[in-house]
Structure 1
């Protein structure tokens, strides 16, 4: 008999347009992402809503692309010392809400859920240390040619993974989810996409982006 994870409402830690994110009920190092029955359509294009209404399987496309990108990067870097700048993915689990994606949980030193770049910018400001961590992850995303189609301040978090050192981790938004997968065609096309995504991220977070060095700085 298939074991079903029971996800409690009190353990709901975030809601995206497509998925609800819960603390894993038995493993403090993991999260469970579940597709919402009624996706949030606020701010979405009419084309996106049309596709979901008439072709429901397109809602699972993001998950497929996410796993495809994770597998591509991991299989290209099989050394035990490899440290990926995106969250690890651990397959699927049945929940009372449907099939859930089990992913890595990034935490503070005390075990609380790590803070996002958006939270830091809005409430605390970004410290020089966190800026260095952001730039380190930015550099590795380019070096590893990672496709990141949704680089937002909500998807970058600052914390620790399984007791390791503090770092900046891309926890969502990786994978080439565009209708025409231009970023997957070549390394140069993905770099152009990353350049555009980071430039827009800088504008939204009021940071300065240097397109030549591909690094962030505090705005003057």
Structure 2
């Protein structure tokens, strides 16, 4: 069992907490935090299942997703391990929301287009949790950036069979992308 300590705490959302892995500072552990209304987090299970599906499909392009290292039992319950997204200088990447406030969204048009193309090219479904606060902007250098989705991976729809067919998967991605842009980018 992996012991997660408060000094390794990174942050939390509405249901899950994220900790730096105590044995590897380039990995993080996501767990459903205690006193949450749900004993088992459905989003965590969907995310783990989707990561496993991507691996089964032979996915090897993790440019816009943190790498997945599997599930683990912790002192805070079941969790899973992912890559910590870091900038070229070793600092943990900040949220896209932070940089939108700082520079405006137009500054990142190229990165947004590359991000969208990545999901379409790899037929990766994201859910409605994809919002600027759940996307990190990784600085590859002083002037080269890429967006990384840290929450909102996978499909929350009950009927996911069409996602297995490339044409329908791309249509779903395009619809969700349009909703994402209309809700968060075209303010």
Range of TM-score over shorter length: 0.7 to 0.9
Given that 2:4 and 2:19 are in contact with CA atoms closer than 8 Å, whether structure 1 keeps it comes out as: no
TM-score of the aligned structures, taking structure 2 as reference length? 0.81
The CA deviation string for residues 45-74 of structure 1, in whole angstroms up to 9 with x for no partner, is xxxxxxx5xxx5xx4432232122222223
1:125 corresponds to 2:110: no
1:204 corresponds to 2:183: yes
Equivalent residue number for residue 67 of structure 1: 48
TM-score of the aligned structures, taking structure 1 as reference length? 0.70
Given that 2:96 and 2:135 are in contact with CA atoms closer than 8 Å, whether structure 1 keeps it comes out as: yes
Equivalent residue number for residue 44 of structure 1: none
The CA deviation string for residues 9-60 of structure 1, in whole angstroms up to 9 with x for no partner, is x4322211220111222212111111022337xxxxxxxxxxx5xxx5xx44
Given that 2:4 and 2:21 are in contact with CA atoms closer than 8 Å, whether structure 1 keeps it comes out as: no
CA RMSD of aligned residues (A): 2.7
Matches within 5 A, 1:43-54: none
Equivalent residue number for residue 2 of structure 2: 4
Equivalent residue number for residue 27 of structure 1: 24
Partner-residue secondary structure (3-state), 1:34: strand
In our comparison, the structure showing a higher alpha carbon Rg is 1
Given that 1:114 and 1:157 are in contact with CA atoms closer than 8 Å, whether structure 2 keeps it comes out as: yes
* Cα distance in 2 between the residues matched to 1:38 and 1:197: 31
* Cα distance in 1 between the residues matched to 2:73 and 2:55: 25
Q: How many angstroms does 1:183 deviate by?
A: 5.2
The CA deviation string for residues 146-197 of structure 1, in whole angstroms up to 9 with x for no partner, is 1111322122211169xxx842212221112223336535333333322232
Partner-residue secondary structure (3-state), 1:92: strand
**Consecutive unaligned residues in structure 2, runs of 5 or more:** none
Aligned residues: 182
* Cα distance in 2 between the residues matched to 1:134 and 1:184: 22
Matches within 5 A, 1:83-162: 83-84=61-62, 85-126=64-105, 128=107, 130-149=108-127, 150-159=129-138
* Moved >6 Å (runs of 4+): none
Change (3 A) 1:102 1:160: farther
